Amino acid sequence: MHNQTVGRLGHLRETARLIRKHLGESKVLQEQYAAVTRISHLFARPAFYEISDRCNLKCEGCYYFDPATFRDGEADRLRFDADWESFLAQERARGVTMLYFLGAEPALEEKRLIAAGRYFQRGNLGTNGTIRLDPEIPFRISISAWAADEADDARLRGGSTLRKALRLYQGDSRAIVLYTVNPTNIDQVPAMARACRDHGLPLTFNLWSPTASMLARLRSFTGNDNAFFRISTPQRSLVLGDGDLIRVRETLAQAIEDFPDTVIYSHAYNRWSTRPEPLYALDPDTGIAEDCGSRITGSFRYYGMTLEAQPVKCCTPAMDCRSCRMYSGGWSSQFSPRPEQVATRSTFAEWLEMVLTIGRIFLRPELDPEAFVGTPVHRTSMESV
């Protein structure tokens, strides 16, 4: 244990030394590092909150309604509304800096979001975009998109929602479209980018990831159902294989270049997240990721519909860590640079780009303009640093 502590301290000192060296060589890097420090501070004490256990869609492989983890919270709903505001006051006193609103469909509980906006200004909520949220809600709104083609949209989600979502949130500065990429919709990325551009909405990406029970059902396939396992088979599922990851990497890299005013993404993150091997160091006994930034540890909290902290491993507890490439865990794992990311001036610049991209995805420029210094970051050429 002593040797591990000494080694860790040595690593931290060497990282600090290299960062000082790189900053001393470039004013651009100094500006970006100041913005990164600000962004990191805003994410210093996050928390996840389930605020809804209802949804109007049936997305294939939904992690919320996963049979291994879903708990019917009907008895909790009345208690939730009675205690919600006092709970929010306690969370504000606890010093929470960033809120993530989860659930089946948070937009179905608009009053809960409006109440949260009276206590906090920074947060992120995921929605399918079928409900136009009250302008009083200040949080970043991530509109989930699964296909640019309406037929594929309906096939994957149990209902076509994209066109309605784009109309409802056109030009809304709170909104960003989150396109979940799977093997069947990779080729639709350009069409999705054009649709977002035409509606004045930024676009970023998520990589579809399977839950542990989804993988088990594929291994021992006995047929589909009419809910969240409608279309996947062992021969054709949404699980990304090595060849699919190469296609994803190439397609998203091209989208960054072709749609610089629409796509909010990072070349460095794209390369990291599409590696064929697991993204995280895995506990050999449990298979749980040891170094994922979404692990619920320390002051990090995950609250269920009971408004009590849950003893879960991460923000998406149903996920299989070996196969997880979700943007939530992936991006939150980038706040602290790894040794290879500070080794050279160019790798350090790429790390700064990733954290700046986190700010652009999860924050709003009206509220935190200083966090957007030097963006769009993918336009900054390596020659300028």
Share of the chain above pLDDT 70, in %: 93
Give the per-residue pLDDT at 383: 38
Q: Residue 338: how many CB atoms within 10 A of its CB? A: 15
Closest residue by Cα to residue 300 from 47, 39, 43 = 47
**Residue range 314-324: average pLDDT?**
96
Give the per-residue pLDDT at 2: 52
Are residues 48 and 315 in contact, defined by beta-carbon separation less than 8 angstroms? Answer: yes
pLDDT tens digits along 134-154: 999 999 999 999 999 999 999
Pick the residue with more confidence: 76 or 348?
348
Question: 211-215 long-range CB contacts below 8 Å, 24 or more apart?
Answer: 211/61, 211/63, 211/66, 211/68, 211/69, 211/318, 211/319, 211/320, 212/68, 212/318, 212/319, 212/320, 213/66, 213/67, 213/68, 213/318, 214/61, 214/66, 214/320, 215/239, 215/320, 215/323
Give the per-residue pLDDT at 374: 57
pLDDT tens digits along 159-182: 999 999 999 999 999 999 999 999
Give the per-residue pLDDT at 382: 34
- Give dist(CA 42, CA 355) in Å, integer: 12
The chain-wide mean pLDDT, for the chain, equals: 92
Give the per-residue pLDDT at 7: 57
Give the per-residue pLDDT at 334: 97
Give the per-residue pLDDT at 339: 93
b/e code 366-381 from CB counts within 10 Å (16+ = b): eebeebbbbbbbbebe
pLDDT tens digits along 324-377: 999 999 999 999 999 999 999 999 999 999 999 999 999 998 888 877 665 543
292 pLDDT band, cuts 50/70/90, is very high
Strand, coil or helix: what is 130?
coil
Strand, coil or helix: what is 158?
coil
Give the per-residue pLDDT at 346: 97
Give the per-residue pLDDT at 71: 73
Q: Is 200 left (phi over 0), alpha (psi -120 to 50) or beta?
A: left
Give the per-residue pLDDT at 373: 63
pLDDT tens digits along 91-124: 999 999 999 999 999 999 999 999 999 999 999 9
Give the per-residue pLDDT at 311: 94
- Give dist(CA 179, CA 333) in Å, integer: 20
Apex CA 269: angle with CA 265 and CA 272, to 5°? 150
Give the per-residue pLDDT at 76: 63
319 pLDDT band, cuts 50/70/90, is very high
Q: What is the DSSP string of 212-232?
A: HHHHHHHHT-----SSS-SS-
Give the per-residue pLDDT at 200: 96
Question: 107-113 long-range CB contacts below 8 Å, 24 or more apart?
Answer: 107/131, 107/133, 108/52, 108/54, 108/55, 108/56, 109/51, 109/52, 109/54, 110/134, 110/137, 111/81, 112/51, 112/52, 112/80, 112/81, 112/84, 113/51, 113/137, 113/139
pLDDT tens digits along 262-272: 999 999 999 99
pLDDT tens digits along 243-291: 999 999 999 999 999 999 999 999 999 999 999 999 999 999 999 999 9
Give the per-residue pLDDT at 379: 38
pLDDT tens digits along 295-317: 999 999 999 999 999 999 999 99
- Give dist(CA 207, CA 273) in Å, integer: 8
Strand, coil or helix: what is 181?
strand
Give the per-residue pLDDT at 11: 80
Query: Which two structure tokens, joined as six digits, stand for 102?
Result: 């989860």
Are residues 233 and 163 in contact, defined by beta-carbon separation less than 8 angstroms? Answer: no
Spell out the residues 6+ positions from residue 60 whose beta carbon is closer than 8 angstroms to its own: 156, 157, 228, 229, 230, 231, 232, 238
**Residue range 35-60: average pLDDT?**
95
Query: Which two structure tokens, joined as six digits, stand for 168?
Result: 């409802």
Residue 75 above 70 pLDDT?
A: no
Beta bridge partners of 46: 98
The CATH fold assigned to 44-334 is: TIM Barrel (3.20.20)
DSSP 289: B
